[in-house]
Each structure stands twice: as structure tokens, then as C-alpha cells.
Amino acid sequence: MESIKILRLGLRNYQEVWDLQTQIHQALIQNRNNEQHFDCMHTLILCQHPHVYTLGKSGTEGHLLADEKRLKDIDAQFYKINRGGDITYHGPGQLVAYPILDLNRLFTDVHKYVRLLEESVIQTCSDYQVEAGRIKEYTGVWVDIHSAKPRKICAIGVHLSRWVSLHGLAFNVNTDLNYFDHIIPCGISSSEKSVTSLEKETGKSLDIKQIEDEFINHFIKLFDLNKIEIQ
């Protein structure tokens, strides 16, 4: 069984974690033929970010509805990045997971990879009696999927280079959903679908550390990995 390093970073600046991802990603590729090397291990970064909007390479900058002054007023940053997908928001109370996996050693199937990420969140929601699922036309995790207006609880955007993954998912736990008013999330109009959080769906504030624990347990089982916690 392959092992994975778990890095819990708490609240960290987006650029800092992006740089860390890149460093780990490059080390994993460079040392992939030496499986005893510590830098050859898969890694899962878990964190929260201060308010930030990120735009994927296939996104439309016009989906950011706030100008530079407005971003400053709401204390938010904006980054263009190399993941797939459109624009999304990260902020306190949102669990962000960045799996850096050498899929060449697990399975070379991008569709399966994204489905397993979604399933990790679906099962975590189920722990709180929130029924979540997928919508065929869209990536991510949704609740009330059979209604006229499903609600998105988790956004997913990934990038693969030489079958090593970057970026990941953003799971709304106790997230301030007002920040989504400044974007067209993932390019989907609010008249079609909306965003939600686990807090909103359960009606109570949740312990994000506990959510983290449960997400990790589901993730490692689904990917058949052995976890190594790094302090």
C-alpha cells in the first residue's frame, strides 16, 4: 500500500500554499524513481485561506464582479492560476484540500481521480446527514440535486503534469457565503444554481478540525492509501 503525507496548515496565505504545492509537485516528479525517498511520497495539504478569488485557465475574468477597489474593501485577493475550471472563492471556514498524488503509481484515469475527490466530500456530508451528490454536466459536489435549483457545497479544480496532481477542492463548511456574491461561481449564474455550506445545510456551526479528520479518513480509504501525519 502506498503512503501519503498529511500536512495540516490551518489558515495560510494562498500564495504561500501555492508555492508549497509547486515545490512538493516538482520533488515528487524528480524523485519518482526512488520510492524510498521521502520526497517521493504522495502528499495531502489541508488548509484554510484568507479571502481570495482564483481563476482557472479556462475561466472568464468577467466572472469576477468586484473591481480592484471593491476587492480591497472586502479584504480579498485575486489570482490567475493553472488549474482547470472557472472562478471560485476561498476563505476562512472553508476546508481546502490539495492532493499532490503521483497517479502514475495509483491509476492513470483523470475521470476516476475527480470522482474520488467528489466521493470524499459526499461521504463527509453524509456523516452529518446531508445528502450530497453529483450533477452530470458539472464538476463538484451538490446538495438537493434533483430540485430546480441545486446548491453547490464543494468546488473542484485540478491540474495534472506528468500524472502528478496539483490544486484540488474547496469544501464550504462554515464559509461566509456572502463572498460568492462578488463572482459568478464556476461560471454558473445564481439564477440557475446557488452555493451552500455544511453549516447552512445542518443549521449549526461545525468544528472544521473534526470535518478535516473525517474527510481524511474517507479520502485515504477511497484512494487506498496509508496516512503519515506530519507535525
* Nearest in space to 23 (alpha carbons), one of 5, 36, 10, 35: 5
Q: Where are the alpha helices (DSSP H) in 10-91?
A: 14-30, 68-73
CA of 81: how far to CAs of 22, 112, 180, 214, in Å?
A: 12, 23, 18, 28
What DSSP element (H or E) covers 155? strand 151-161
The answer to whether the beta carbons of residues 156 and 68 sit under 8 Å apart is: no
C-alpha grid cell, residue 20: 508549497
154 included as an active-site residue? no
How far from each other are the two terminal CA atoms of the chain, in whole angstroms? 22
φ, ψ of residue 200 in degrees (nearest 5) = -65, -40
Contact 99, 44 (CB under 8 A): yes
Please list the active-site residues.
Answer: 186
